[in-house]
């Protein structure tokens, strides 16, 4: 999946224009990178378009654990969105990420995320984010 395809998929899922999609992609991937180990973030980055890799860069291996509400708040602050919109945007980005990486890498990613945040990767679970 190339950069334009990634943004288009996020935009369609979240019903937003490409410019807004680019903003929420950056916000979500940056927040995600803080929640996983440095090795996992770097490995995920290798499977994404070059334009997105910098969002997953981190100097440390430390992963900060936040629950779903805190995760969505961080995405919202970075993207300039609020509650429901942040949840829709994060879900759209993580669903697209799920399609862009291998099954093994998805399993590794999920193993590092809290259960409630993991649910953002699976859009059919409607109990997410309010």
CATH number at residue 102: 1.10.490.110
Q: Is residue 125 part of a domain?
A: no
pLDDT in tens, 84-129: 899 999 999 999 999 999 999 999 999 999 888 988 888 664 444 4
Q: Is residue 15 part of a domain?
A: yes
Q: Is residue 127 part of a domain?
A: no
Cβ atoms 94, 121 nearer than 8 A = yes
| Angstrom distances, CA of residue 51 to CA of 70, 80, 85, 87, 94 | 26, 21, 24, 23, 16
pLDDT in tens, 22-46: 999 999 999 999 989 988 998 899 9
Q: Count up the domains in the chain and report the number.
A: 1
Q: Is residue 126 part of a domain?
A: no
Give the range of the structural domain holding residue 80, as residue numbers without chain letter.
3-120
Q: Is residue 77 part of a domain?
A: yes
The mean pLDDT of the chain is 89
- What crossing angle do the helices spanning 83-100 and 68-79 adopt, rounded to 10°? 100
pTM: 0.89
Q: Is residue 68 part of a domain?
A: yes
Q: Is residue 89 part of a domain?
A: yes
Q: Is residue 113 part of a domain?
A: yes
d(Cα 11, Cα 29) in Å, to the nearest integer? 15
């Amino acid at each position: 999946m190339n950069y334009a395809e990634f943004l288009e998929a996020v935009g369609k899922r979240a019903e937003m224009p490409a410019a807004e999609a680019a903003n929420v992609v950056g916000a979500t991937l940056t927040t995600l990178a803080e929640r996983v180990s440095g090795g996992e973030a770097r490995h995920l980055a290798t499977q994404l378009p070059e334009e997105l890799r910098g969002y997953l860069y981190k100097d440390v291996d430390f992963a900060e654990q936040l629950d779903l509400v805190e995760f969505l708040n961080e995405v919202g602050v970075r993207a300039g969105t609020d509650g429901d919109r942040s949840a829709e945007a994060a879900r759209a980005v993580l669903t697209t990420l799920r399609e862009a990486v291998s099954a093994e890498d998805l399993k590794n990613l999920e193993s590092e995320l809290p259960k409630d945040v993991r649910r953002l990767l699976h859009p059919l679970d409607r109990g997410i984010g309010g």
